[in-house]
Amino acid sequence: QKEVEQDPGPLSVPEGAIVSLNCTYSNSAFQYFMWYRQYSRKGPELLMYTYSSGNKEDGRFTAQVDKSSKYISLFIRDSQPSDSATYLCAMSEVSGGSYIPTFGRGTSLIVHP
Amino acid sequence: ETGVTQTPRHLVMGMTNKKSLKCEQHLGHNAMYWYKQSAKKPLELMFVYSLEERVENNSVPSRFSPECPNSSHLFLHLHTLQPEDSALYLCASSQDGQGSDTQYFGPGTRLTVL
């Protein structure tokens, strides 16, 4: 079993839809959870960052972490064509040493007008 | 120039060539990373440098050789690569290389090995 599972998609939705992107993981030691957005021919950029469980909201984006289920989600409200990109989840353990994140494969999202 | 820059953006090389990828960060960070991104696979961490010392080497083949002359610059030297090494190579930096850090990525170098 891979440490982080993420459906690669593509996920195609109409403009204005609510999008739900998800990752599951197996390592219960993960404490930091991130979502990155990667446009074509660009490097990933951090969208949301959550420590431990709970929800975090930033504009149209909401990140949820359910540690009991080892499941994280990113919701996008009122999706726009400009949201079309690959979304990567990433997570890491609490550690005093070096930062070794584990990434999902990424989900390709297409928002059509 | 701000953020993390990488050169070249595209590189085509034969299996017997030697080339180098360059990364520069303008964020005042102390940790830098090399990742490999292949189609339909998760990002693979290759090397981590913190305060110019290598702290992680994820069993990367010796045909990849990193160099970190200072906290702002990172190189990846390539020699006798294989076609399966064709991928997007991403550089990233973070403040101190800790678990709570945010990583900032460059645009990547698209490498094709013939």
- Please give the distance of CA A23 from its chain centroid, rounded to a whole number: 7
Q: What is the DSSP letter of B38?
A: -
Say what the pLDDT of residue B99 is. Answer: 63
Q: State residue B10's pLDDT score.
A: 96
Cross-chain residue pair A46–B104, CB shorter than 8 Å: yes
Examine the pLDDT at A4 and tell me if it is beyond 80. yes
Distance CA A29, CA A18 (A): 30
| Residue predicted with more confidence, B97 or B61 | B61
Q: Nearest CB to B98: which of A43, A99, A103?
A: A99
Asked if the model's pLDDT at residue A1 lies above 90, the reply is no
Asked if the C-beta of A96 comes within 8 angstroms of chain B's C-beta atoms, the answer is yes
Residue B70, min C-alpha distance to chain A (Å): 18
CA–CA separation, B70 vs B87, rounded Å?
26
Q: What would the pLDDT profile of B78-110 be if each residue is shown by its tens digit?
A: 999 999 999 999 999 998 877 667 889 999 999
Of B42, B99, B105, Cβ closest to residue A99: B99
Indicate the pLDDT class of residue B3, thresholds 50, 70 and 90: very high
A vs B, Cβ pairs < 8 A, gives 66
| Per-residue tokens: B63 | 């045909």
- On whether any CB of chain B is under 8 Å from the CB of A88, the answer is yes
Q: Which residues, 6 or more positions from B21, have their beta carbon under 8 angstroms from its beta carbon?
A: B6, B7, B8, B11, B75, B76, B78, B89, B91, B109, B111
pLDDT tens-digit readout, A50-72:
888 889 999 999 999 999 999 99
Whether residue B25 has pLDDT greater than 70: yes
Which residue in the set B56, B102, B106 is minimally distant from A49, CB to CB?
B102
Q: Is the pLDDT score of B58 beyond 80?
A: no
| Inter-CA distances, A57 with A17, A76, A92, A105, B95, Å | 17, 10, 20, 23, 24
- The answer to whether residue A58 neighbours chain B at the CB level (below 8 Å) is no
Question: Confidence class of residue A97 from pLDDT cuts 50, 70 and 90?
Answer: low
Q: Which residues from A are below 8 Å from B105, CB to CB?
A: 36, 43-45
Tell me the C-alpha to C-alpha distance, in Å, between residue A52 and each of A88, A90, A93, B70. 18, 13, 10, 34
DSSP SS3 for B16: coil
User: Where does chain B show beta strands of DSSP type E?
Assistant: 4-7, 10-13, 18-25, 31-37, 44-50, 53-57, 64-70, 73-79, 87-94, 104-105, 109-113
On whether any CB of chain B is under 8 Å from the CB of A106, the answer is yes
Per-residue exposure over A61-93, b if at least 16 CB sit within 10 Å of its own CB, e if not = bbbbbeeeebebbbbbeebeeebbbbbbbbbbb
A99/B41 touch (CB, cutoff 8 Å), yes or no:
no
> Reduced to 3 states, what is the DSSP secondary structure of residue A94?
coil
Judging contacts by C-beta atoms under 8 Å, the chain A residues touching residue B97 are: 98-99
Nearest residue in chain A measured CA to CA from B57? A100
Q: Vertex B98, ends B97 and B100: CA angle to 5°?
A: 125
Phi and psi torsions of A88, nearest 5°: -110, 130
> Contact A46/B48, CB-based, under 8 Å?
no
